[in-house]
Structure 1
């Protein structure tokens, strides 16, 4: 399949919400327990873009099939060169290198903007996501055991880091 990657806009909120809400409803990948309405997703996209951070979507034809973005790692001033990164793909777009392509463009944008470190949190176990992050050059720097409770059980989260 051929994909295009471009900057996201609030007009992408509905397909982004649809991709994300699948993970909210059916997996522990997201620790949210309620689906995110389209207007809330639009607000989240706007906030990230207003912060000057990259938010990208991947399209196949006219359909958004994946997205990635960066958010500030923490609010304290000394963290201003560090971000947390996230990537989500529609089921039909998985296993085709699209997550890698999205991350490569995201990391390039972050480097160009002067960021130093990117961190990605991965609910464990998730070998596919670990493989993607490590393919992108990220290394595990932390494991938070039993940090989130969803679907009646505890879940651990590992953090992978890339120095840009």
Structure 2
């Protein structure tokens, strides 16, 4: 089941993200954020009118995904970056696909144009890259050896989904980068 996240989900979100910070390479943070910082991030995404979703499997928290502005400059207001984190016990069960599909649908419904994926670590992220490709993302570049974590250099693969590949003019104002959708 995919649903909107609530503040009550933040302890589970923070725990999952904290494990990824300490043990994984999906984020380049080195220290897990505090509860206050995670709340600030959650509220910041929601204040912009963007989705923050939670997946449940048999009633248990299985992962989360959210969209954030791609870049802070106004010309980028039609694009978001998607972030997805799935509990290890839920991986390979369609949770990531369900979260990413729902995130794409929300972005499309909001009149946005692009969803960007920045997937780090080609050594461990082949499943994530394949998932993005199955949902229509294309690889648009690689930042090579851009992150230093766990005593090694890590690449970041950039993937992009065009929600309107024909390139029609926008039908909405896009993101108000200081507030919600405008």
1:111 is displaced (CA, Å) by: 0.5
2-structure distance, mates of 1:64, 1:40 = 21
2-structure distance, mates of 1:64, 1:48 = 20
**RMSD over aligned Cα atoms:** 1.1
1:150 is displaced (CA, Å) by: 1.0
Larger radius of gyration: 2
2-structure distance, mates of 1:128, 1:97 = 11
1:131 is displaced (CA, Å) by: 1.1
Q: Is 1:24–2:21 an aligned residue pair?
A: yes
2-structure distance, mates of 1:26, 1:82 = 29
- Could you state the TM-score of these two structures normalised by the residue count of structure 1? 0.94
Question: How many residues of Structure 1 are paired with residues of Structure 2 in the alignment?
Answer: 161
Question: Contact 1:6–1:57 (CA<8 Å) still a contact in 2?
Answer: yes
1-structure distance, mates of 2:130, 2:17 = 20
Question: Contact 2:121–2:155 (CA<8 Å) still a contact in 1?
Answer: yes
Q: Secondary structure at the match of 1:102?
A: helix
1:159 is displaced (CA, Å) by: 0.5
Q: Is 1:115–2:112 an aligned residue pair?
A: yes
**Structure 2: which 5+ runs fail to align?**
164-182
Q: Secondary structure at the match of 1:69?
A: strand
Question: Contact 1:66–1:90 (CA<8 Å) still a contact in 2?
Answer: yes
- Could you state the TM-score of these two structures normalised by the residue count of structure 2? 0.85
**Structure 1: which 5+ runs fail to align?**
none
Q: Is 1:144–2:143 an aligned residue pair?
A: yes
Q: Secondary structure at the match of 1:57?
A: strand
Answer 1 or 2: which has greater strand percent: 1
